[in-house]
Structure formats: structure tokens, C-alpha cells
Amino acid sequence: MPNRVWPVRPNESKFNYYNGIFGFDLRGCTRTDDSERFFATRWFIFNLLPLIPLQRYYLSETRVSSQQYTGQIEHVFANSVYKVHGRSRLHVGEIVRTYAYAWLVAPALVIVPVVHLMETTDRADDSTDIWLIIGALLWPFIGIFLVVLLPEVFRKFQRSPRPVSWRAEPPDH
């Protein structure tokens, strides 16, 4: 069964948030299809955590890079610019996956190993292995790196999206 897609309403493509604290964001991106477009869900977020799924969009992404010089130092910035081609119905599987990853997997990747290392260090004697301390200090950074990397890896290996079927108007129900 194809994904039904219909045109977007005016001013329906704002996905900005303020420092990740409060606003709207795109989550649950699917694999790109033959036209280099993909589906993503627009979420209402608080503290980078998705709270309410709002709408599913059919998008294309363009990477834009810019350079800025400060004295002798060159800073290179890369941003994604999304073009909204259409919208679609919310997909339950994508919503469940996004909730599970943001509320269960991501916090567990960062917090659980640190708590375990702290408990191990507290029970050890004075000859505590220095690698436990280094691990406890480095793991939050490794965990955050994994939290950012895993959705991209999943996106590359998930099944191809269903074909797109364009509609003039959204369904009434």
C-alpha cells in the first residue's frame, strides 16, 4: 500500500526550536527513496525530548556549509535545509520507535554505564583501577556520540519506503 501524500498548507514548514529546549523538531526520518526524498515526523519537543507528534512530512534535504574567519582560524559550519514537498498521515511505527529511542534507549546509553562505573568505583579499595575512573569520565561523551549516531545508522539499514501516491486533498477522517 503506497504512502498517500498531499500538498502542504501555507506556513506549515517551520521546524525551529530554541537551543533544544522548547519548540518543534523533525524526528523519525525514513530511508530516502529513489527521488532522494524521505518522510519525517514533526514533533513538539521539550528539553530535546519528543512529546507530541504533530504531522508527517515528505521532504528533501540539502546540506549547506559556510565558512567564517576569526583572525587566523577558519570555522566551517554545516546545516541541513529541508524542502517540504508534501504531508502524510502519522505512522504509528515511527511514533513508537521515536518514543522508545528518545525516552528509553538514549538515556540508558548515557546514564546506566556511568551509574554502574560509579558503584564499582565506590566498592573498590584504594587500588582502584584508573581505567574505571577514566571510563566514568569519558562514557557520557561516548554515550552522547552513540545517541547521535545510532538514528543515522538505523536510517541507512531500514527497509525502503513504500511508493508515494499523490493526492490533491487530505482525507476527511
| Coil/strand/helix, residue 26 | strand
What pLDDT, on the 0 to 100 scale, is given for residue 125? 59
Segment holding 82, helix H or strand E:
strand 73-88
What pLDDT, on the 0 to 100 scale, is given for residue 15? 62
Q: Which residue has the cell 523538531?
A: 25
Q: pTM surpassing 0.85?
A: no
Residues of the chain short of pLDDT 50, as ranges, are none
